[in-house]
C-alpha cells in the first residue's frame, strides 16, 4: 500500500516531489529547464528552416531549366 502523500507535484526538471504551488525543486532546476527548452526550440527552428530551404531548392531545381 503506497503511503498517502500530501498534495504535491514533481519538479519539471528532475522529477523530485515539490509542493503543489511550485513547478521546480530549486532555481537551478528552473534555469536548467528554461535553458533546455530554449536549446530545443532553437534546434526545432533550425530543422524547420533547413527543411524549407531543402524544399525550395527541390522546387527550384525541378522547375528551372538551365
Ligand atoms: Zn528539480
Q: Is 2 within a domain?
A: no
Residue 26 has pLDDT above 70, yes or no: yes
The DSSP annotation for the chain comes to -PPPPPSEEE-TTT--EEETT-S-SSHHHHHHHHHHHHHHHHHHHHHHHHHHHHHHHHHHHHH---
Distance 7 CA to ligand 1 centre (A): 17
Q: Is 19 within a domain?
A: yes
Distance 16 CA to ligand 1 centre (A): 6
| Number of domains making up the chain | 1
Distance 32 CA to ligand 1 centre (A): 9
Distance 15 CA to ligand 1 centre (A): 6
Q: Please give the residue range of the domain that contains residue 16.
A: 8-63
Q: What's residue 6's pLDDT?
A: 78
Q: Is 1 within a domain?
A: no
- What is the tens place of the pLDDT at every residue in 1-17? 567 777 899 999 999 99
- What is the tens place of the pLDDT at every residue in 34-46? 999 999 999 999 9
Amino acid at each position: 500500500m503506497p503511503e498517502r502523500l500530501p498534495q504535491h507535484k514533481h519538479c519539471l526538471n528532475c522529477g523530485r516531489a515539490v509542493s503543489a504551488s511550485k513547478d521546480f525543486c530549486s532555481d537551478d532546476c528552473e534555469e536548467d529547464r528554461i535553458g533546455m527548452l530554449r536549446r530545443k526550440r532553437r534546434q526545432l527552428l533550425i530543422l524547420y528552416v533547413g527543411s524549407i530551404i531543402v524544399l525550395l531548392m527541390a522546387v527550384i531545381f525541378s522547375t528551372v531549366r538551365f
